[in-house]
Amino acid sequence: MEHILSILIFFPAVAALIGFLVQKESVRAYAIAVSAIEFLLSIGLWIVFDNDNAGMQFMEMLPIIPSYGINYLVAVDGISLFLVILTTFMTMISLIGLTEKRDLKNLVISVLFLEMTMVAVFLCLDAIIFYLFWELSLVPMLYIIGAWGGNLRIYASIKFFLYTFTGSLVMLVGMLFLGYVYYQTTGNWSFSLLDWNMLLLPFDMQLWLFVAFFLGFAIKVPMVPFHTWLPYAHGQAPTIGSVILAAVLLKMGTYGFIRFSLPLFPDATAYFVIPMAILALIAIIYTAMVAYAQEDMKQVIAYSSVSHMGVIILGTFALNVEGIGGSIFLMISHGIVSGALFMLVGVIYDRRHTKLISEFGGLAKVMPNYATIFAVMLMASVGLPLTIGFVGEFLSLLGFFKTSPVLTLLAGLTIILGAVYMLVMYKKVFFGPLNNPKNEKLHDAKGRELVALIPLVALVVILGVYPKPILEPVNKSVTALVEIMQLKAVNETTKAKILSANSIGEVK
The model's pLDDT over 268-302, given as tens digits with 9 standing for 90+, comes to 999 999 999 999 999 898 988 899 989 999 999 99
pLDDT tier, 149 (very low <50, low <70, confident <90, very high otherwise): confident
Provide the residue type at 205 as one letter: M
Cα of 251 vs its chain's centroid, Å = 2
Q: What is the pLDDT of residues 312-338, one digit of tens each?
A: 999 999 989 999 999 999 999 999 999
The answer to whether the beta carbons of residues 357 and 296 sit under 8 Å apart is yes
Structure confidence at residue 507 (pLDDT):
39
Q: What is the mean pLDDT of the chain?
A: 91
Peptide bond into 222 cis (omega under 30): yes
Question: Which are the contacts of 484, defined by CB distance < 8 A and separation ≥ 6?
Answer: 197, 263, 266
Do the domain assignments include residue 343? yes
Mean pLDDT of the region 108-115: 95
Q: What is the pLDDT of residues 401-435, one digit of tens each?
A: 988 898 998 888 777 888 888 999 999 999 988 88
User: In terms of Cα–Cα distance, which of 94, 102, 101 is closest to 32?
Assistant: 94
- Residue 124 domain flag: no
- Alpha-carbon gap, residue 397 to 412, rounded angstroms: 8
Residue 295 domain flag: yes
Q: How many domains does the chain have?
A: 1
Residue 305 is assigned to a structural domain of this protein: yes
Residue 227 confidence (pLDDT): 87
pLDDT band with cut points at 50, 70 and 90 for residue 195: very high
What number is the average pLDDT over the span 37-53? 95
| pTM, to two decimals | 0.94
Position 316 in a domain: yes
pLDDT band for position 503 (cuts 50, 70, 90): low
62-89 burial by CB neighbour count: b if 16+ within 10 A, else e? eebeeeebbbbbbbbbbbbbbbbbbbbb
131, part of any domain? no
CB 205 within 8 A of CB 212: no
Name the band, by pLDDT with cuts 50, 70 and 90, for residue 18: very high
* Position 448 in a domain: yes
**Residue 490 confidence (pLDDT) above 80:** no
Which residues span the domain enclosing 443?
272-508
